[in-house]
């Protein structure tokens, strides 16, 4: 298996911590929404806040 097929090794790519933190928040919000179907979830990217509406 060729792990270098696109010319980049995994360790050459560094994702900024701020982006990782935003991704973690999005995943958590998605899981909460998926678990509790009675909520519609809106994600405000500017403030990284979540709003739950009934």
Q: Would residue 40 count as lying in a domain? A: yes
Q: What is the pTM of this model?
A: 0.34
1 or 11: which leads in pLDDT: 11
Q: Would residue 6 count as lying in a domain? A: no
Q: Would residue 28 count as lying in a domain? A: yes
Name every residue whose Cβ is closer than 8 Å to that of residue 20 and which is 6 or more positions away in sequence. none
Confidence bin at 54 (pLDDT 50/70/90): very low
Q: Would residue 36 count as lying in a domain? A: yes
Q: Would residue 4 count as lying in a domain? A: no
CA distances from 26 to 1, 16, 17, 37 (A): 32, 16, 14, 17
Q: Would residue 8 count as lying in a domain? A: no
Q: Would residue 3 count as lying in a domain? A: no
Confidence bin at 46 (pLDDT 50/70/90): very low
Domain that holds residue 46: 14-53
7-42 pLDDT, tens per residue? 556 566 787 888 888 888 877 777 776 676 655 555
- Phi, psi at 46, each rounded to 5°: -65, -35
Instruction: Give bridge partners of residue 43 from the DSSP assignment.
Output: 50
Q: How many domains does the chain have?
A: 1
């Amino acid at each position: 298996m060729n792990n270098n097929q696109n010319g980049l090794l995994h360790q050459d790519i560094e994702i900024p911590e701020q982006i990782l933190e935003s991704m973690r928040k999005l995943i958590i919000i998605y899981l909460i929404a998926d678990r509790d179907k009675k909520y519609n979830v809106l994600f405000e990217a500017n403030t990284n806040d979540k709003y739950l509406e009934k």
